[in-house]
Amino acid sequence: MSAHLIDGTALSRQIRAEVGQRAAALSARGVTPGLAVILVGDDPASAVYVRNKVKACAEHGLHSHLERHPATLPETELLARIRLLNDDPSIHGILVQMPLPRHIRPQRVIETIATTKDVDGYSVQSAGDLMAGLPGFRPCTPYGCIKLIEATGQPMAGKHAVVIGRSNTVGKPMALLLLQANATVTVCHSGTPDIGRHSRMADIVVVAVGRRNLLSADMVKPGAIVIDVGMNRNDEGKLCGDVDFAGVAPLAGWITPVPGGVGPMTITMLLVNTLESAERAAANLTSTAHTITST
């Protein structure tokens, strides 16, 4: 293999250590960052994701509040729970684990979360902030991908980046973040004929489709940075990405493995978003206190 491996586990560990230090400093000032996680139903994969998020909070000085509800929970009750958490000053981030049961409208749920606590960055307000280049929560997976690209030490400015996949949670925000970093961005999707024609010209390729071996060696420019977001199972049932890793690694410049690439970064950026939300809340408290004492 000639490509440098971008180690998401190691980068994640480093960022989480910084989160731990900042969370401790904030706690010493009386504000412990808090994440509320809501799980509706009994999807086993969702239960694992939720458990990992709660565990990550506990390990890095954040407190978490986990709510489990039956799949029959009416939408109105879920929205009422979210509104209570919106008003709870000990909670700085609210995450509702997707997918939700069919009778609950996900966008309705997302839009009920206070903008100041939308640590998943899925609301229309957060998406609009990203599009307008304003500060706000960035969706965790593409935010993590940007950190992985930064870890290569290669500038993104002036580079040609190709994003394959255009979901609202990964592909589209990924493209906007790359644009913000001054890359020239092409977005491919299921309606793009001959994706290789675009990806072969790319200095950076981010693949977020959910299809094994979608990106093969003949679709990659030698020396390119390849970020594999996909999560699939191979014939042996093992986790694999969207990239033909064995074929692409010998010619790429940098590549993320699956597992151990993008995966660990997603929860890490959730911790970062929650911590930064708590830091903002603490700063607002301080300025409010200052205003009260000075009036």
Select which of 97, 172, 221, 242 is catalytic: 97
Residues 122, 109: Cα–Cα separation, whole Å = 10
On whether the CB atoms of residues 38 and 81 are closer than 8 A, the answer is: yes
Largest pairwise CA distance in the chain: 69
Select which of 118, 120, 228, 242 is catalytic: 120
Any contact of residue 97 with ligand NAP (CB under 6 A)? no
Any contact of residue 112 with ligand NAP (CB under 6 A)? no
- Per the annotation, the verdict on 53 as an active-site residue is yes
On whether the CB atoms of residues 262 and 8 are closer than 8 A, the answer is: yes
- Per the annotation, the verdict on 180 as an active-site residue is no
From 23, 263, 268, 279, residue interacting with ligand NAP (rule: CB under 6 A) = 263
Any contact of residue 15 with ligand NAP (CB under 6 A)? no
- The DSSP output letter for 55 is H
Q: What are the beta bridge partners of residue 34?
A: 63
Residues 179, 140: Cα–Cα separation, whole Å = 17
Any contact of residue 12 with ligand NAP (CB under 6 A)? no
Any contact of residue 208 with ligand NAP (CB under 6 A)? yes
Judged by beta carbon, residue 19 or residue 170, the one nearer ligand NAP is 170
Judged by beta carbon, residue 224 or residue 229, the one nearer ligand NAP is 229
Judged by beta carbon, residue 34 or residue 263, the one nearer ligand NAP is 263
Residues 171, 219: Cα–Cα separation, whole Å = 18
Please give the residues from 216 up to 245 whose contact with ligand NAP meets the rule CB under 6 A. Answer: 229-232
List the Cα angle 218/223/225 in 5-degree steps: 90
- Per the annotation, the verdict on 154 as an active-site residue is no
How would you list the strands of the sheet with 184-188, edge to edge? 4-5, 254-255, 225-228, 204-207, 160-164, 184-188
The 154-183 contact track toward ligand NAP, x by CB under 6 A, reads: ----------xxxx-xxx------------
Residues 221, 252: Cα–Cα separation, whole Å = 7
Judged by beta carbon, residue 230 or residue 257, the one nearer ligand NAP is 230
The residues that are catalytic are: 53, 97, 120
What residues line the site for ligand NAP (CB under 6 A)?
141, 164-167, 169-171, 188-191, 195, 208-211, 229-232, 262-263, 266
